[in-house]
A = this chain, B = another copy of it.
Amino acid sequence: MLRREITAAIRDAVMHELAAVGYGRLSIEAVARRAGVGKTAIYRRWSNKLEMVLEIVTKVAGRKMPMPDTGTLRGDVEILLRILATALQHRLASQIIPDLLAEAARNPQIAETLHATLRGYSAELGTSLVGRAVERGELPPGTDPDTGVDVVLGPLYWRLAVARGPVDDAYLEHMADAVVAGLHASAASAVVPAVVPGAA
C-alpha cells in the first residue's frame, strides 16, 4: 500500500521542479530531494520520468474548467477571459504550460497527451460558447467553433505567455469587445452555406 502523503509530496515536488528547471532538466533525484523522499519511493510508483510527468500533469489538467452561461456572448467571453487570465498568471502554470508546449514540439508522446487535453477544452469551449451564441441568434449558424476559439484565447495567451505584458480590468474589457467583434466577422466571412433541408 503506497502511502498517499508520500505520493502527494512527490506530485507537488514534480510540479515545482517542472516550473523551476523545466521538463528537459528535470531529474528524479531533484524531485526526491525536494519531496524529502527516497528515489525508491518514486520508482515504486512510476518507471519513467516521462510516465511520471504525464500522469501527474494530466491529472492536474483534467480538473474541469468552469464554464458558466451568462446569457450573452459578450458576458461569456468576458468571464472566460477572466478565468484564463487568472489561470495563466499563476506562477506554476505560467512556467509549466509554455515549457510543456515547447517540449511537445519534439516529444510525440507529450504532444499527444497535451493536445488531447487541449482538444477537449477547445471542443467544450467551442460548443458551449459559440454553440450557445448560435442558439441565441447572436452568431449565424455554420460559425466555425475552432476559429472562434483561436480568436478568443489567442490574444490573451499572446499577451500573458509570450509578450508577458500587464493585464488589468480595462484591458480585459477592451479585449472582450474586440473578441466579440472578431467572432461576428469571422462568422460572417465564413461562407459555409447552411444545410438547406431537401436540397440535392
Instruction: Assess whether A138 is interfacial by the CB under 8 Å rule.
Output: no
Is A21 part of the binding interface, using a Cβ–Cβ cutoff of 8 Å? yes
Please determine whether A102 and B99 come into contact, CB atoms closer than 8 angstroms: yes
Task: Write out the residue numbers on chain B whose beta carbons fall within 8 Å of the beta carbon of A23.
Answer: 24
Task: Indicate if A19 sits at the interface (CB-CB under 8 A).
Answer: yes
Q: How far is the CB of A147 from the nearest CB of chain B, in Å?
A: 6
Q: Is A40 an interface residue (CB 8 A)?
A: no
In this complex, how many residues of chain A approach chain B with their Cβ under 8 Å: the count is 56
The number of times this chain is found in the oligomer is 2
- Specify the main secondary structure of chain A where it touches its partner: helix
Question: Is A30's CB within 8 Å of the partner chain B?
Answer: no
CB-defined contacts of A122 to chain B, threshold 8 Å? 163
- Write the nearest CB–CB distance from A52 to chain B, whole angstroms: 17
- Give A90-118 interface residues, CB cut-off 8 Å to B: 94-95, 98-99, 101-106, 111, 115, 118
A20 to chain B: which residues have CB within 8 Å?
106
Distance of A125 from chain B, by nearest CB (Å): 12
Binding site for B on A (CB under 8 A): 19-25, 94-95, 98-99, 101-106, 111, 115, 118, 122, 144, 146-147, 149-151, 153-159, 161-165, 171, 173-175, 177-186, 188-190
